[in-house]
Structure 1
Amino acid sequence: MSANLNRVETQWLAQLSAMRAAIAELKLPADLENVPAYGQDVWTDEEDSSEPTSGDDDLWDLVDDDEEEDQAFLSDSSHPVHETTPSPAYGAAWLHERLSYVSSSMSVDELQDHIVAILGSDSSDDELQMLLADTLGFDELDLVAEFIAHRKEIATAVQPPVKSQPNGRILSRREREAALEQQDFQHKTASLAAAQDRSVTQYPHVYRAHDAGNMLSSHGRKYMLPLGSERTEHEKYEEYSIPPAKVGTLGLGQSLVMIKDMDTLCQGTFKGYKSLNRMQSLVYPVAYKTSENMLICAPTGAGKTDAAMLTILNTIAKNVTPSPFDDPNATDLAVALNDFKIVYVAPMKALAAEITEKLGKRLAWLGVQCRELTGDMHLTKAEIVATQIIVTTPEKWDVVTRKSTGDTELVQKVRLLIIDEVHMLHDERGAVL
């Protein structure tokens, strides 16, 4: 054992002598006091301590520092620093602005949530195109194409808000029922989008609420109260004061029919009139110059009685010599009073009396007799024969026409039947008839 130690010691001393000889060959300066110790001339990013430590401690400190730096790097990479970046072009503000120009029946927020839900679905582009077209309308196909092209950007930028639960406790049965009732109420009262693609027949002068977005303005605005309207809130009700509407202007190519331009039959009946109003001028070519069936829908006070007078004059003109159609300026008019009958069906007996008086005065200059035939006013057969215009009610006229052996001569001579307020027959009263 001692021999081995001696051999090792001899080898070590030989190596030490070789090292000293090698150092001597380097010819290092003799003054080594100002030379920094090993490792002191190396600058590091972080210095743990200014006090010198042992070599073993320095080794373990280096390993610990490397591990801490690696852990810090991993922590920074898992939580990157959020830098301020500009908002994407297709974000929430852009979507809200575009939808504000096309929304009609739904609010902008509801429409935006609906669009985001559609864009975030797993539907294909073709299905997405149909869904968006049904929601926005086929007038907004350019916007639909833009939504589909930037589908991922919009769905990523506009995320629906996540509702946070205030606490994690289990709801009681009563609370669950109350929540379900609230959801059911919101579902039933939610506004629905209008079916823009519904193919319906377009009639003139007929306006629908869901057409407001395309008819009133290019921005999809709804119907509004007229300018100058005032809204007053009371304790139990709201009051709206709406100014009267202005008198409508004539359309392109329309004009009022002047009384002086009509034939002598019309001039003598419409004495004191300067011209027909808009509605009467519109129906004049059909009511007076043809024998076509007509249905006139106009508000109260629009002049429907005078429009009916035009049809009465058309029937009289066919039984006048000379005919006003052939000679509009003829003055001596002879009416064949026994060749025609006109029946005016009024909705009520009170209105029948008023119509009888009005028509009798207007046609008295022609010798035309107008009488009332209702439940209160009975006419003899001679009076019926001598009468040209009979004003009656639906019930009375039904009784007269049901008689198989009754006034058949009266019915055979009827050339014109006028039904006033025909919509009133579409109820229980009409079923009785």
Structure 2
Amino acid sequence: MPKISEKAHSMPASPIRKLVPYAEAAKAKGLIVYHLNIGQPDIDTPQVALDAVRNLDRTVIEYSHSAGFESYRKGLSDYYKKNNLPVETEDIIITTGGSEALTFGFMSCCNPGDEVIIPEPFYANYNGFAIQAGLKVVPVTASIETGFALPPVEEFEKKITAKTKAIVICNPGNPTGYLYSKEELEKLRDIVKKHDLFLFADEVYREFCYDGATPFSVMNLSGIEQNVILIDSVSKRYSMCGARIGALISKNKEVMNAALKFGQARLSPPTLAQIASEAALNTPDSYFEEVVNEYVERRDIMVDGLNAIPGVFCPKPKGAFYCVAKFPVDDAEKFCQWLLEEFEFNGQTVMMAPANGFYSTPGKGKQEARIAYVLNKESLKNAVTCLEEALKVYPGRV
């Protein structure tokens, strides 16, 4: 029997989904499982997007341009300019999700064997994208004690070698919810400029910033315009995760020409989803105001509730809809599995994503779990109660 590839062996399983069989078994026993493991919002998709598909007047669902419909790219350019990002239509390639955007970016900018530096914990699928492109992820560890602030510049400098090609960030961050300040991004700018690196920035949670905080985009960093690669997506902004529409954005024409060739190889991004995404650009500002207010309330229920449990520590995030909490347990992965296999409180239990899967350094995040506060407020209150009761009886509590 032929053997599968080394690359297939090295692809990591998702820490977000790896416990799904245990959750399904818990549900089969009749338990209510509060899914805090995955960033799937229960927020309604904007009506204008749904209506665009529902009222579609076409007789053929044809390919689009490999870079995406020009009308959509022009609309996106207007959206970015409204948010003070200097992005022109020709700076945009529409992709099948932000995942494809980052993969195209990696393959356009890096050679197999190159290294990319990423502050950890980071979105676990970055590992998979790097493996697909033949890259090595080099982590720089952020600390839960500092709320996952950008590690010191010196830590980045220590990791840079002749093979270093890029730095990758997510802002606001998944899994931590940390929002990098302008000053932190300017420190990264200086490193990128000094060593002539690419700077990839995943800014898909731009709309979700709290407590008066405003995001600062890498597109506004002066002096590295040709080094910056922006990754974007409609998934979380408009609660359209299943549409699978993202965008790769850069002022670097050589990068964009290369990425377009990868786009041509997969023909085009999905037509129906582009139609919905273009219509979503007309979403009223009131939609985001309501959503942000809702997430602030959900965040406060979850984070304040966690911090009220003896032994639990959870920094309060300024953006996105995730937090990472440290639990007084021997092993968070065992704890998460135990919650699904052996625990229930009033017929309920909780599913979280063990945070060790969001670190690249072995052994890091062993007592931590990522939580997505994407459920309704009553469910989040019940989930906090479940976790409090679980920690009273968990045999591996420390």
TM interval, shorter chain, is: under 0.3
Report which of the two has the higher share of helix.
1
Q: Look at both structures and tell me which one has the larger radius of gyration over its CA atoms.
A: 1
Name the structure, 1 or 2, with higher relative contact order (CA <8 Å, separation 6+): 2
Report which of the two has the higher share of strand.
2
What is the TM-score of this pair, normalised by structure 1? 0.23
